[in-house]
């Protein structure tokens, strides 16, 4: 089963795809968050035969929705309406900060790598604790 991971941001959206077995997420790309974004992600879902979407759940440290959460949820609901693919949510606390570091703690300089890597971390986290087989 193929999954799409999404790290939703107001300027950029990081995308990750799982392996065919649905066991691990891998960075795919970033897209600008503009009027063409929804259609582009719908096309990716169809092209890659995605069967489930995992969106990073934006929350404050107090556990309440942060300002991005409402827009991320609306984007996810629009994807389901257009594709019929179900959406699941995974907490995303610290994924962007984690994605900024490589295995030796050196910062990654390209923000695009950060966004798609954060999406891969969100997706892998979800897959690691979900029975998807």
The bridge status of strand 25-32 relative to strand 12-18 is antiparallel
CATH of domain 3-128: 3.30.420.140
The predicted model scores a pTM of 0.83
How do residues 96-106 score in pLDDT, each as one tens digit? 445 445 434 44
- E strands present in 69-116: 87-91
92 pLDDT higher than 80: no
CA atoms within 13 A on the CB side of 30: 19
Q: Which residue has the tokens 């827009």?
A: 71
Measured CA to CA, the distance from residue 128 to residue 22 in angstroms comes to 10
pLDDT at 131: 62
The bridge status of strand 3-8 relative to strand 12-18 is antiparallel
């Amino acid at each position: 089963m193929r999954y799409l991971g999404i790290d939703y941001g107001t300027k950029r959206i990081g995308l990750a795809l799982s392996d065919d077995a649905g066991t691990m997420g891998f960075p795919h790309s970033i897209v600008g968050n503009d009027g063409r974004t929804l259609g582009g992600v719908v096309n990716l879902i169809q092209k890659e035969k995605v069967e489930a979407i995992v969106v990073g759940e934006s929350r404050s440290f107090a556990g309440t929705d942060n300002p991005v959460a409402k827009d991320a949820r609306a984007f996810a609901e629009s994807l389901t309406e257009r594709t019929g693919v179900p959406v699941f949510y995974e907490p995303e606390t610290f994924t962007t900060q984690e994605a900024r570091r490589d295995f030796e703690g050196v910062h990654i300089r390209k923000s695009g790598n950060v966004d798609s890597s954060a999406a891969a971390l969100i997706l892998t986290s979800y897959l690691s604790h979900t029975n998807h087989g």
